[in-house]
Structure formats: C-alpha cells, structure tokens
Chains A and B, each alone.
Chain A
Amino acid sequence: MPETVLTVDELTVHNHFTDVPAVTGVSFAVGPGQVIGIVGESGSGKTITCRALLGLLPELFEITAGSIRLLGRDTALLTEKEWTALRGSSISAVFQDPASYLNPSIPVGRQLEEVLRIKTGLPRKAARARALDLLTAVHIRDAEYVYQQFPHELSGGMLQRILIAIAIAPEPAILIADEATTALDVTVQAEIIDLLADLTRRLGLALIVVSHDLAVVAQLCQRIIVLRGGTVVEQGTVEQVLFSPQHEYTRLLIDEHHRFGLDRFLTASDRAEARA
C-alpha cells in the first residue's frame, strides 16, 4: 500500500462574489505513481478544485469546509512563505495555453534553468546540464538546439513539453495537468499523454488529469471523478465509470463518444481486449 501524496476530504470552496458554493464536498486521495482524472464541463468546479490544491484560489473564493493534506501536512495551516516553498517543489501544474506561461523574450532553456536555480539551488553550470537532461526526458530530440530557442519558434506541443519539464524540474511529488492537451492536435495530444504516463511510471509522480473529455482522462487514469455544478456526480475506477456509469451526466459524456467518435467502429474484440 503506497503512502498517500495528497488527500482531499470533503473540500468545499465558497464563491463570496456570487455567494454560491463553487465546489461542494469533493474527496479523493492520490498515491505515488497513481493517476486520478477529474472530468467536467466549463463551470463544473474542476479548475477551482485545482487552484485550491495549489493554494492559489482567486480573490473572493475561500475554502469553507473540508481539508487538503499534501505529503501529510494540512495545507490550511501553511503560511504564505511555506506555500511558496511547497509550490513547484512538492506540487506543480501545467495548464492549457503553454505560451502564456513563458517569457517571450528569453530562450526556453534559460527559463527552465532559472527554475532549477531558484527551486533546487543548483549552480549555473549544473543547472544547465540538468535542464538539458530534463528536455531529453520530455522527449525533445535535439535538446541543445531547443534550449536556445524562443517560445515563438516552437509549436504548441513543444511548448507544452517545455512547461512539463519546468513543472517536474524541482521533482514534485504530484503534478496537476489542467486541460494540458486541450489546445493540441490529437496526434500531439497523444504524445503528451504518453509522456505523462511515462513520468508517472519512471518517477513515481502522482498525477491529477483535468479535462472536459472523458476519453482523454480514461487514457491515463486509474480513478475518475465526474464533477458537475461543483459537486461530484460520480466517482470510481475507470472500469466502473466507463463501463457501468450510474449518473445520467456520465452517460451523456460516454454516449457522445459512442455516437460520434471512433468507438462505434471498434469491434467487440477490441473492447474485450481493452477490458482485459
């Protein structure tokens, strides 16, 4: 039984601006190397949940009930300074639009190096060597060349890889991927999904995958949470949620794939294989 990296217990976040709860009673736990998926449409509370986990709730949002334990520590008791130390080094995140998180006028390799120097205290030369290693680890072929390129010279898929390299640089225990593949072409999306799967296996990284697309989440996760209107409508193993969904909304998400996606063309044997 692996120790738990993150335990969320009955998390409730209140929006003081609209005076309605944004998230109500969300509970889950993730251990090293485990992957949990959070699925829901816009406004379902998935991003607010992630921001609560990162200690980055927007103004007027407040955790009013429940608890978050990160590596055994209750995050409600953390000071701002402790949060800053923890964020990046213990819990990290990548989001939908990688270009907006990078400085357009600094080569991407130097931005990665900077994170390493600040978060791990490595001297310049060692940080550079480590940065090149990390670029290779996120499947960038010519790391030396990409190191000195600017964000505008790289494709969306390449930028997302750089962001993942930056996120895993301080060796966090848990990574949140919030719609990290949404803006990418399907073939590139599959590459990033494969990369994330690799990282959980190789580094024992715990992963939270957030997406509006159930199938994207299903590629990676052992467990899935379906959120709607800030509440959990369904939660269970991938098997349970995909093959015997209980809630009408989950059925809608699945039905969409069955009716319009590739699933309808896959034969019964493919399905048996997938279940096995």
Chain B
Amino acid sequence: MSADTSAPLLDVDGLDVFYGRGARRKQVIHSATFSVAPGEVVGLIGETGSGKSTIARTIVGLVPAAAGRVSVGGRDLTGLSSSAWRGFRRSGTVQYVFQDPLRSLDPDLTLHDSVAEPLLITGGRNRTQVTERVLAQFARVNLDESLLRRLPGQVSGGQRQRAAIARALITEPRLLIVDEPVSALDSANRVQVLELLRELAGGDVALLFISHDLGSVAGITDRVIVLYRGRVVEAGPTSDVINHPVHPYTQLLVGSAPTLTRAGADREWRDSLRAQLGAAV
C-alpha cells in the first residue's frame, strides 16, 4: 500500500452539509476532515444516519457542500459548475458501487452492456475495443465470459456485485467508493467479493469502503474513519482503532462487533458506554 500522505488522492477538508431549507434546514455533516492516499483502503464506518453515505454522495457531487472542500487528485471539486461536473463524472476518476446491484444495474441490459456503458459514455472507441475492455474487466473480477449475455436477474448475488465492480473499474478510476457492497451477500460470496476488493486496491485504485460494521471490513482496510452523528470522531490505522479506541462510540462499536473469540464478553463495558453516550446527547 502506498502511503504517500504528502499528496492525498482524496482530500476532504472541513466539510459541512445541510439538508432541508428554511426552518427545517438541518446540519448533517459537521466539518468532516479526512484524506485517502493513492492505493489506500479506507473504511468509513458509522451507524444508520451518521452521514457516511451523505459524505460519499458529496464526494461524487450528488449532494452540495455548504462549506469546506473536497478535492480529488489535487482538483477542487466543490466549486465546479454543473457542466464541469458532467465532464469530471464522464472521466470516471471516481466510481461508486452500491449495496444492491439488483437495483443499481439496469435489469434489461446484459452484463456485457452494463459493464460497457461507462466507456460508451466516455466515447472514442469502436465496438471491438469496447468488447476487449469488457472482457478484460470480467477477467479482473473473476467473472466467467459465459455470463456476458446474461441479465442481472439471471446471475447470483455475488456475480451481480462483481459485475457492478467491473462496470465501475472499466473507466480505470483512481478512487472506488463502495457502499456496503457485501451486506446483501451470503458468506461464500461475501468472502469472494472482499477478497476481490482487497486485490484491486493498491497500485492505482484507492478504496473508500462504507459500512456500518467495523467487524466486517476490519480485515481489508488500512485505516478506518469513524463517523458519529455527522462528525468524524476517530481516525487511524485499523489495528490501532480496534485495539485502542478512544471515543466512547468507537469503543461501543468495537465492543458490539460480534467476534468468535470474545463471544458473550464485554457486556458490562457496553452498558457503561451506552450510558456515557446517552448522557452526552
């Protein structure tokens, strides 16, 4: 893993995000600051409503930032005009993989056409070149070529998620945002997709892995960022955060993750942390 922290690939600095307007305007992200180095795998962890998907959506320009800065590869994205945004999206520098590929892939497109689509949008290639690239992506995610003509509904959940990843990879992104990509999969598929993501990262592709469960992504992340009620409450190398969590919420998160080795332990610890967090509200 390249740890070139001097030049982060993704730099989020003092990000504020609001939802709603007028009297109903509510701040959901409070000066979030973090970065992702090229090739790094970073987990963005938080409970439902903590703002993790909002941050991801702000990075790709789907949600406007009220204050602060988001830059990718040194380019400030927060001030882009809508046409500049379109150009940036078409470049495919940042790609987003959603939790449920059954809903994110077009049900009427074959896997080949779904994976090819981002290239067709970018333009400038003929049919043969596009198909060549699609085949290369299929190989990269360990999908058999026999599935090229299948529809998303005709393959397994794991195969579908790998097709969604192939679609994201075809533009050679530098940052891949994956939002709970294995939550909907069963064990065997989960292991395969996690392994694939681990292999992909490093070199040219960095990974921002969004999850509510530290326990399920600990093994593939270099660093984790913990988000609680719209604020970054902790960030650091994965093993440090797990072994020495500082914020009560991070401690609760670690103490709540079901593990095989500490089964049933930590009960009283959890109760006291809940009391602390409850008192803080």
Residues of A at under 8 Å CB distance from B? 41-42, 156, 185-191, 193-194, 197, 212-216, 218-220, 238, 242, 252-266, 270-271, 273-274
The interface residues of chain B lying within 8 Å CB-to-CB of A242 are 260, 263
- The total of chain B residues at the interface (CB under 8 A) is 39
The interface residues of chain A lying within 8 Å CB-to-CB of B190 are 256
- With A262-B218, A273-B265 known to touch, is A41 a contact of B254 (CB < 8 Å)? no
Q: How far is the CB of A101 from chain B (nearest CB, A)?
A: 20
- With A194-B270, A264-B219, A265-B238 known to touch, is A259 a contact of B47 (CB < 8 Å)? no
The interface residues of chain B lying within 8 Å CB-to-CB of A274 are 261-263, 265
The interface residues of chain B lying within 8 Å CB-to-CB of A194 are 267, 270-271
The interface residues of chain A lying within 8 Å CB-to-CB of B274 are 191
Q: How far is the CB of A225 from chain B (nearest CB, A)?
A: 16
Interface string of B184-200 (1 = CB under 8 A from A): 00111011001000000
By beta carbon, the residue of chain B nearest A188 is: B47
**Is B220 engaged at the interface, CB distance under 8 Å to the other chain?**
yes
Per the bound structure, the CA–CA distance linking A62 and B188 in Å amounts to 30
Which 5 pairs, one residue from A and one from B, show the smallest C-beta to C-beta distance?
A260-B219, A190-B256, A215-B258, A41-B186, A218-B263
B260 touches A215 (CB 8 A): yes
Q: How far is the CB of B138 from chain A (nearest CB, A)?
A: 24
Per the bound structure, the CA–CA distance linking A265 and B261 in Å amounts to 11
Stretch at the interface among B126-134, B139-147, B209-217: B209-217
- With A242-B263, A260-B218, A265-B239 known to touch, is A186 a contact of B188 (CB < 8 Å)? no
**Is B48 engaged at the interface, CB distance under 8 Å to the other chain?**
yes
- In the complex, 24 of the A-B residue pairs with CB atoms within 8 angstroms, ordered by the A residue number, are A186-B214, A186-B215, A186-B253, A190-B258, A191-B270, A191-B274, A197-B264, A214-B260, A216-B258, A218-B264, A242-B260, A252-B188, A256-B191, A259-B194, A260-B216, A261-B260, A262-B215, A262-B259, A265-B218, A265-B238, A265-B239, A265-B243, A270-B262, A274-B265
The interface residues of chain B lying within 8 Å CB-to-CB of A213 are 258
Per the bound structure, the CA–CA distance linking A213 and B260 in Å amounts to 10
A252 touches B218 (CB 8 A): no
Interface string of B64-107 (1 = CB under 8 A from A): 00000000000000000000000000000000000000000000
B188 touches A257 (CB 8 A): no
B270 touches A190 (CB 8 A): yes
Per the bound structure, the CA–CA distance linking A175 and B80 in Å amounts to 56
A253 touches B187 (CB 8 A): yes
The interface residues of chain A lying within 8 Å CB-to-CB of B218 are 260-262, 264-265
Residues of B at under 8 Å CB distance from A? 47-48, 186-188, 190-191, 194, 212-220, 238-239, 242-243, 252-265, 267, 270-271, 274
- With A218-B263, A256-B187, A274-B265 known to touch, is A261 a contact of B219 (CB < 8 Å)? yes
The interface residues of chain A lying within 8 Å CB-to-CB of B186 are 41-42, 212
Q: How far is the CB of A34 from chain B (nearest CB, A)?
A: 14
* The one of A187, A220, A266 that contacts B253, using a Cβ cutoff of 8 Å: A187
Q: How far is the CB of A139 from chain B (nearest CB, A)?
A: 10
The interface residues of chain B lying within 8 Å CB-to-CB of A191 are 270, 274
A218 touches B252 (CB 8 A): no
Interface of B is mostly: helix
The interface residues of chain B lying within 8 Å CB-to-CB of A188 are 47
- With A215-B260, A218-B258, A256-B190 known to touch, is A187 a contact of B242 (CB < 8 Å)? no
Per the bound structure, the CA–CA distance linking A264 and B238 in Å amounts to 11
B261 touches A271 (CB 8 A): yes
Q: How far is the CB of B182 from chain A (nearest CB, A)?
A: 9
Per the bound structure, the CA–CA distance linking A261 and B252 in Å amounts to 16
Per the bound structure, the CA–CA distance linking A273 and B262 in Å amounts to 8
The interface residues of chain A lying within 8 Å CB-to-CB of B255 are 190
The interface residues of chain B lying within 8 Å CB-to-CB of A219 are 258, 263-264
Of the listed residues B219, B254, B258, the one surrounded by the most CB atoms of chain A closer than 10 A to its CB is B258
Of the listed residues A189, A220, A254, A260, the one surrounded by the most CB atoms of chain B closer than 10 A to its CB is A260
Per the bound structure, the CA–CA distance linking A254 and B263 in Å amounts to 13
Q: How far is the CB of B195 from chain A (nearest CB, A)?
A: 8
Per the bound structure, the CA–CA distance linking A255 and B220 in Å amounts to 14
Q: How far is the CB of B220 from chain A (nearest CB, A)?
A: 6
Per the bound structure, the CA–CA distance linking A270 and B259 in Å amounts to 11
Q: How far is the CB of B223 from chain A (nearest CB, A)?
A: 14
* The one of A42, A238, A261 that contacts B259, using a Cβ cutoff of 8 Å: A261
Per the bound structure, the CA–CA distance linking A242 and B263 in Å amounts to 10
A265 touches B258 (CB 8 A): no
Q: How far is the CB of A262 from chain B (nearest CB, A)?
A: 5
Per the bound structure, the CA–CA distance linking A253 and B188 in Å amounts to 8
B259 touches A257 (CB 8 A): yes
Per the bound structure, the CA–CA distance linking A161 and B217 in Å amounts to 27
B260 touches A254 (CB 8 A): yes
Q: How far is the CB of A40 from chain B (nearest CB, A)?
A: 9
